[in-house]
Chains A and B, each alone.
Chain A
C-alpha cells in the first residue's frame, strides 16, 4: 500500500485522471456562432450563471472520427518500427509507445501486421440514400428559426451508434436508411415546437444525444417511409441552476458527461456519475437508457441520482410538480421514462443530485491466485457493504491484456522493480501466471476515511489470498475502459473484430455464468468456422447486495470468413442465450435497443410487455418517436 512519501504523487495521479475526464476544454477552433437567438430560452434561464461551453460542436465531425470511436486526433497505430503507439495529447497514454501490445495482439488473435484491412478514407456521398423530406414540415420548421441541416455528413453522423456492425458499415459497407434531417433545438421550448410540428406533419423523430449506443438504438428502421428527423440535443447543454441547500442541479439533458462534471467542479461539486462513455454520452441519454456509473457505490446509478425529469411527448410535457426526495404516488412515472430509449419523447431537463468534490482519491489493486477467489472476495466486500467507489475484477486474459498496454518504462529501476514484483507473486507466492487475476479499486472521500476504508478492503482481500499490487495496476485497469473502444478501431485495421456486452447476475451464479459464457463463445467460434481462437474474457465491474454486473469482451480474427459480421452476430446471439440460461439479465446498463428486443418478452413476461405497450400507445399513438427500440 502507498507509503506517505508518494502521496503527493498519488494526488497528482488523481488530478491527472480528472484532467483526462475534463481535459478537453479547448474551444474547437471553428465552432459556429449560434445562429438563433433563443429569447425564450434565455428568459427561462434568466438566473443562469454559467457560460455555455460545450465540448461537442454541432458539426461533430470537426473533432470526432466519422468512422470510429472518439476524437480525430487520438488513435492507436503501429509506427515504422512496428511498435504500437497512441497518438494525440488528450489521454495519459497519448504519445506513448506500448512495446508489449504488438506481441500480445499477434499472439492472442493470430493476427499479423502484414494483413491489413484499412477503412475507406472518405465517405462516398453516392452511397447515402437521398433524404425523404416532408415539405410542409420543412416549411414550418424554417418558420421556427431552429437550426437544421440535411447535409450528408450531418445525417450519416447521426445514423449510427457504436455497435460493431455499425462501425463496420461505416468503414466498408453502407446504411440502408439514415436520418433525412438533423435539427438542433436550443432549449425545452424548441423541443416542444419541433415535436408539435412532427405530430402535425406525421414525421418520425429520433432523439440523438452522444451517439454512444451499443444496442442499435439510433439505427434508423429501414422500413420507415416517413421523414426521419434526428433531434440532436447537443446544444441543450447548460446547467440552469445549482441548489446548494438541497445539493441538486437542474441541467439541460444534452450536456455530455465530461462537461457536466467540469462545470460542476468549477463550483466545487460533482455528480459522481461516470459511465465509461462519459466523454461523449449525455445526461438525457443516461436517463433514457437507465445508465450506470463506475462509482455507483458512492453516488448511485442514474435512477438514484435523478430528482426530477422533464420530457416532451406527443401528448405534451410530462414532469412531477415537486422535487420531494421520495414519493408514494402510485408507480413512479419517472420509471416509465428511464429506460424508454427514445420511444416516448425527448428528455429535455433533469434535476440531478450533486455532491461536494471529494477531498481525496486513491487507486489500488489486488492480485488473486484465481478468478474464483477474486469473486469470493468481491462477494464478501459486498456483503460487508464496504465496497469502494469502484471495485472491478478482471479475469486472467484481461489481466494479460492490461499488461500489454504498459507504456515503455523510462528507467531501468522501474523495470527492475516490475521484475521483482512478478518474481514475488509467481515464484514466491506460487501464483500461476495463467490463473491469477486482478481486482482494481478506486477509493474516494476524506483522506483519513479513505485510508481506513482501504485497510478494511485489503484485509478482506487477504482472507481470500489476495495480495496488494499497487496503484499503478489499478489505474491502468481504469484507463483500459477509456481506450478499449480506440483499440477496437486498431483491431479492425487488421482483421480483428470485437465487442463488449454485459449482464447482471445473482452472486451464486457469477462463476458459472462467466465460465459457461466464455466457453460458449469459444465453442460457437469453432462451429462457425472462425479460423483462430477468439479472445473471450470477462470482468466483474459492479457489486450489489444481491449480485454483480459482469462485462464480457469478445474479439476474433476473421481472416478466411466471407461474412464476418454475420458470424459475429450469431455468436453474440448465442452468448446472450447462454447468459439468459445461466440466470443473467438481458442488460445491466447498455439497454435493449433493437439488438436485444428479441428477448424482452421472455424477460419481462407477456403482461409486462403489454403494460409497456399500453403506455406507448397512450403517449405516442402515431409512433412519432418511431426509432423502434424496446418493444
Chain B
C-alpha cells in the first residue's frame, strides 16, 4: 500500500501516515474478505456475555431495580408492570450484534465504497494504539459526525483490522426503516430516543445498558459527541448525556480507567451536501426510509473523492480526572442509586466533551477544495482562475503555518490541483471562460425572486460547508485579527476585551473550551506573529506591511458570521414588538433576510442557514439580550431592545465592549 506523509506543524504532535484500505479491496475478492476468519483481541477483563444475557443483566441490576421500586411507590403501579415496561424499552433499544450481518455489510459496503470513493485512508498507527487500548481498558470511540456513512465506516474499518466491533448509540429514526433498522441493530447499533428528559425509567434502563456494556468490556462503545450530523460541517458543541453515562463507572470505581478515543472522519465530498443545504434552508429532512435509501442508489454513479479516518491517541479518563475529581465523593451513597452529577462533575464532563471535540478537529484532514471554497466565499459569485490558483497557493502556506492537516498531492502543480478539485465539485462550481463561478451564476444580477434566492442559497451554503471545514484552524487568529481591525487602539488589553466579546458571542458557533479565553487569545496572537502579520511591541499590536492582506483575509472570513448576527439583531429591533415564539423565529428571520438580499442591502447568504439562526438565538439568550418567559403554556421570547442596541454598537465597534478580566494576560 502506498503511504504519504502529510505536513505537520512542528509545534503540534507528529501526525501518522495514512494507508488506503480500498486498495486491497480493489485487488482481491470481496467475498473472501467478508468470509475471512475474524478473531479480534478482546479486553483483558472481559466477562463473556451474549447480547441476550446483557438484557437480563440490565433488568436485574440494582440500579434499574431501585428505580422501578421508586416509580412503583410514586405512581401506585405494581412493580411488575413497570418492570415489563422496562423490558419493552430494553427490547426497543438493545443491539444484537451478529457476525453474519457484519459479513454481509463487509461485502456490500466494499462494493459500495469502491464505487463511491476513490480512497478510504486510515492511519494504521492509530489502529495499533486502539488495539492496545481495547485490551487494557474499556474503550469509548468518539468519531466526528458529518454523514450517515460515519458509523458504517467505523465498523467496516474495525472489521478490516480485526478489532472488536463497537456497539453504537444511534437515533431512533433508523428504526423507522423496514429491515434496514433491524440490520443495523444486528450490526451493533442500539437505539436511543432523541429526548427522554423526564422519563426516569427510560433514563435508568438506557444508562444502565450502556454502563453494563462498558463495565464488562462487552465491546467498545461508540457514540457521536456532537449528537447529530453537523449539517454545516463545522463541529457542533458536545452533547453531554452519553459522556456523563460512560464516565460514571470510572468515578464510582467500577472500572480502573476508560480510554476515550477521538476519531476524525473527513470527507473530500460529503454525500449529503445538497440535502444538508436544503435542510438548512427549511426544507424538512426526508424521513429515513428504506425506499429512500434505495433511491439514493443513483449516487453510486458519482465520485465522492477520498475519506480520511484518523484514530487519535486514546485519552485516559483517569489522567484527565486526576486532581480534578475526588472520587471519594461517591462513597456515601450506594452506587446504584442514581444521583444528579455534582457541579464539579458537570464542569469536568463538559470540559472533557470540548476537549474531545477539539481533538477531533485537530486531526480533521483538509482537502485543497476547502481552501478554494474559502477563497470563493469571499468573492462570490466567482473569481478568475489565475487569481484563484495564486490565492490558493498563498492560503495553502498560511493554513500549513497555522497547523492545518492538509491533504495536498505531492509533485502536482497548483493549477492541476485546483482544476481537479473544481471538477470533483461540479455540482457547486464550474470553470466558465477562465473564471471559476458558482453554478447557476450564468445569469448574473437576476436575483429578483425568492425562488432564485433560494436556488442560489443552496449552492452558497454547500460552498460554505467546505469553508467551514477549515474554520477551526483560523478561528482564533481570525478573532484576534477582527479585534485588531475593529479596536482603533491597538493596546493588548483592548484587543483582548474585544476578542473575548466575540468569543463569547460565537461560543455556540465555534468550539471554544470553556474558561480557556486567555489560552485561545494567546494561541491566536502566536499564529499571527508566526505568519508575520503582526508584531507585538511591548503591549501594542503593530500590523506589518505584508500582514495587512492576511488580516483583511481573516476578517473577511469572519464577515458572513458577523453579518449574520447583525441581521438577526436588525430583525429583532425592527420587526419584533412584543415577543416571539421559537417556532416563529426561524421562518421570520429567513423572510427578513431574503428581503434584505432582494433589496441589495445584504450580500452574504450565510444567515439564511437555520443553523446560524439557532446559534445566534442561543447566544443572545445566553448573553441576556433575549429572555424566555412562560405565558399560558407557551414559551415566549422577549427582547431587551436596549441590549440589542448595545450589541449592535459593539459589533460595529462604535462603543467599547466591557472589559474582561485581564489579570492573567
Contact = CB atoms under 8 A, between A and B. Distances in A.
A512 B253 contact: yes
A202 interface: no
A516 B257 CA distance: 9
Interface residues of B, number: 11
A580 B253 CA distance: 10
A520 B256 contact: yes
A583 B334 contact: no
Interface in B124-182: none
A581 B256 contact: no
Contact of A580 (B45, B256, B328, B335): B328
Contacts of B328: 580-581, 583, 602
A420 B219 CA distance: 40
B256 A583 contact: no
A190 B229 CA distance: 83
A41 to B, nearest CB: 49
Contacts of A519: 256
Contacts of B45: 515
A605 B294 CA distance: 65
Interface residues of A, number: 13
Contacts of A583: 253, 328, 330-331
Contacts of B330: 583
A508 interface: yes
A516 B45 CA distance: 12
B254 interface: yes
Contacts of A580: 328
A405 interface: no
Contacts of B327: 581-582
A325 B119 CA distance: 84
Contacts of B326: 581
A422 B254 CA distance: 33
Interface string B294-331: 00000000000000000000000000000000111011
Contacts of B331: 583
Interface of B is mostly: loop
A427 interface: no
B253 A581 contact: yes
A512 B215 CA distance: 11
A516 B334 contact: no
Instruction: Kindly name the residue among A520, A581, A602 whose own CB sees the greatest number of chain B CB atoms within 10 A.
Output: A581
A513 interface: yes
A98 B253 CA distance: 40
B357 to A, nearest CB: 28
Nearest to A520: B256
Nearest to A519: B256
Interface string A581-615: 11100000000000000000010000000000000
Given A581-B328, A582-B327, A516 B335 contact: no
Contacts of B256: 515-516, 519-520
Contacts of A512: 253-254
A439 to B, nearest CB: 22
A513 B330 CA distance: 13
A509 interface: yes
A508 B66 CA distance: 15
A62 to B, nearest CB: 47
Contacts of B335: 508-509
Contacts of A581: 253, 326-328
Nearest to A523: B256
B489 to A, nearest CB: 49
Interface in A325-358: none
A488 B253 CA distance: 31
A580 B334 CA distance: 15
Interface string B330-344: 110011000000000
Contacts of A582: 253, 327
Contacts of A515: 45, 256
A520 B253 CA distance: 12
A520 B318 CA distance: 11
Interface in B16-54: 45
A602 B331 CA distance: 12
Contacts of B253: 509, 512-513, 516, 581-583
Nearest to B137: A519
Interface in B581-602: none
A508 B254 contact: no
A519 B138 CA distance: 14
A278 to B, nearest CB: 32
A582 B335 CA distance: 11
A512 B326 CA distance: 17
A583 B332 CA distance: 8
Interface in A483-516: 508-509, 512-513, 515-516
Interface in A504-553: 508-509, 512-513, 515-516, 519-520
Instruction: Kindly name the residue among A508, A509, A602 whose own CB sees the greatest number of chain B CB atoms within 10 A.
Output: A509
Contacts of A509: 253, 335
Nearest to B327: A581
Nearest to A583: B331
Nearest to B45: A515
A580 B45 CA distance: 23
A435 B334 CA distance: 29
Interface in B244-282: 253-254, 256
B373 to A, nearest CB: 46
A508 B63 CA distance: 13
Interface string A152-169: 000000000000000000
Contacts of A516: 253, 256
Nearest to A511: B254
Interface in B444-472: none
Nearest to B252: A512
Contacts of A508: 334-335
Contacts of A513: 253
Nearest to B332: A583
B438 to A, nearest CB: 56
A137 B256 CA distance: 56
B428 to A, nearest CB: 52
A520 B256 CA distance: 8
B617 to A, nearest CB: 42
A586 to B, nearest CB: 11
A266 to B, nearest CB: 47
A509 B326 CA distance: 17
Nearest to B249: A512
A580 B331 CA distance: 9
Contacts of A520: 256
B161 to A, nearest CB: 27
A254 B332 CA distance: 39
A509 B45 CA distance: 17
A252 to B, nearest CB: 40
A382 B331 CA distance: 21
Nearest to B336: A508
A520 B137 CA distance: 13
B555 to A, nearest CB: 48
B247 to A, nearest CB: 14
B325 to A, nearest CB: 9
A508 B327 CA distance: 16
A129 B126 CA distance: 59
A581 B324 CA distance: 13
A509 B252 CA distance: 9
Interface of B: 45, 253-254, 256, 326-328, 330-331, 334-335
25 contacts: A508-B334, A508-B335, A509-B253, A509-B335, A512-B253, A512-B254, A513-B253, A515-B45, A515-B256, A516-B253, A516-B256, A519-B256, A520-B256, A580-B328, A581-B253, A581-B326, A581-B327, A581-B328, A582-B253, A582-B327, A583-B253, A583-B328, A583-B330, A583-B331, A602-B328
What are the 9 A-B residue pairs with the smallest beta carbon separation, nearest first? Answer: A581-B327, A582-B253, A583-B331, A519-B256, A512-B253, A516-B256, A580-B328, A512-B254, A581-B328
Given A512-B253, A516-B253, 13 more contacts: A508-B334, A508-B335, A509-B253, A509-B335, A512-B254, A513-B253, A516-B256, A581-B253, A581-B326, A581-B328, A582-B253, A583-B328, A583-B330
